A = this chain, B = another copy of it.
Amino acid sequence: MNAASDKLKHARDEFVGQWGALGTQWGINRTMAQIHALLMTSPEPRSTDDVMEELQISRGNAHTNLKELVAWALVRSVVRKGDRREYFEAEKDVWKIFTTVARERKRREIDPALGVLRRCAEESQDIDTPEGRAFYEQMRQLQEFVEFAANMADRVASMKHGFAVQMAARLLG
């Protein structure tokens, strides 16, 4: 019977659609989030044409976002013997997804902020007025905090799942 298959299709469509909407709220483009959702819940790798068909999007769009997901290391491309097409599969282990995202966001969001703060602190360190010193102090505090955050992100990104659970238990217990 096919009720189960229909129900699954419905549930997956729901997930893909909703995940896309969430992505938008997080500043991630909708298509990229949808493809990620689709691949995370696909038992088999999918071709570009598969993805185009499933999400009703153009080739260019599918291509760009698949490559972007590969750049994030959330998706890898696989080749099948005797098939010239490229297939894509998503990492499904949630802890690995998390550490990957942590690493990538550190690189894309935290590190550049650190650069800005360091330069601004440097630039303001010998402005010898009360306002200048206050500005310098603020830069320093932001810098220190972001350095701390960078450090944490590195630690977390390199944690093994087991250790993280253990630490969480200690922290949450």
Contact = CB atoms under 8 A, between A and B. Distances in A.
A72 interface: no
A59 interface: no
Interface in A121-137: 123-124, 127-132, 134-135
Interface in A3-17: 4-5, 7-8, 10-12, 14-15
Nearest to A129: B4
Chain A contact residues, majority secondary structure: helix
Interface string A143-169: 011001001100100000000000110
B92 A8 contact: no
How many A residues touch the partner, as a band?
Answer: 35 or more
A19 interface: yes
A152 B172 contact: yes
Interface of A: 4-5, 7-8, 10-12, 14-15, 18-19, 22, 25-28, 40-41, 43, 92, 94-95, 98, 108-109, 112-113, 116, 119-120, 123-124, 127-132, 134-135, 138-139, 141-142, 144-145, 148, 151-152, 155, 167-168, 171-172
